[in-house]
Amino acid sequence: MAIDSASGPSPAESEHELIEQGKRLAAEAAAALVRDEMTVGLGTGSTVAYLLPALASRKLTGLRCVATSPATERQALELGLPVLSLEALDGHLDIAIDGADQVSPQGWLIKGGGGAHTREKIVAAAASRFVVIVSAEKLVKDLCAPVPVELLRFGVAASLAALSPIELRKAPPSPDGGLIADYLGPIDDPADLSDRLAGTPGVIEHGLFAPEMVSEVLVGDRAGEVRRLDGAKPVL
């Protein structure tokens, strides 16, 4: 069989490479914001998987990190990053860095593609500065479903009925025992939906993050550049 050695990557492979490059560049730019002695919240996901080696390579011996998932904790420890509990740091972090599934022009985020949004929101809210790292295709004109939701196991049928249309995810429960579901309805107004989800009994946390939580979004674009979008949370 003849092998066409001249053929390069397929369009799908090139697209994938551009997305991965965007994630890596955003992650590396965020790692450069961290100074020694800082306390750092580490998000979860494939973009954060680029952040951890970039952070470890800086050899900042005074860092103390909090991980938002077992996967992040494992990778961080393997790379020699010290991981503590948020309690050990008195519930406060200097900076948190995390990916997102969608970023709206108004600065709203949808997070929780990996089902870690409850811990991620706690960590983001505990940080003086919350930096979001994304590749360019995460910037959307309008947010759209799914919106991840973590539900208490007790009474889950009632919670699902109250939140219809919603679908339980075929995934293990969160490390805290909550069931992960995806709200599939329209997002006409993210603030209204955020209030509705948060106000439904049985909802532990949902994946809509308000602009007020976000200090900045670093976007790794297809030209190999990193753009910075200001969030609404002041960077002190």
Report the residue number, 99 or 231, with the smaller CB distance to ligand 5RP. Answer: 99
The residues, ordered by sequence, that sit 6+ positions from 191 with a Cβ below 8 Å of its Cβ are: 210
15 catalytic? Reply is: no
For residue 11, the minimal CB distance to ligand 5RP (Å) is: 20
For residue 45, the minimal CB distance to ligand 5RP (Å) is: 3
Report the residue number, 60 or 71, with the smaller CB distance to ligand 5RP. Answer: 71
Which two three-digit tokens encode residue 109?
């985020």
For residue 110, the minimal CB distance to ligand 5RP (Å) is: 8
The residues, ordered by sequence, that sit 6+ positions from 3 with a Cβ below 8 Å of its Cβ are: none
- Out of 120, 150, 205, 216, pick the active-site residue: 120
Report the residue number, 46 or 128, with the smaller CB distance to ligand 5RP. Answer: 46
For residue 2, the minimal CB distance to ligand 5RP (Å) is: 38
The CB density around residue 85, as the number of other CB atoms within 10 Å, is 9
Report the residue number, 4 or 135, with the smaller CB distance to ligand 5RP. Answer: 135
Residues that bind ligand 5RP (CB under 6 A): 43-47, 98-101, 111-117, 120
* Whole-number Å distance between alpha carbons of 140 and 234: 23
Residues that are catalytic = 120
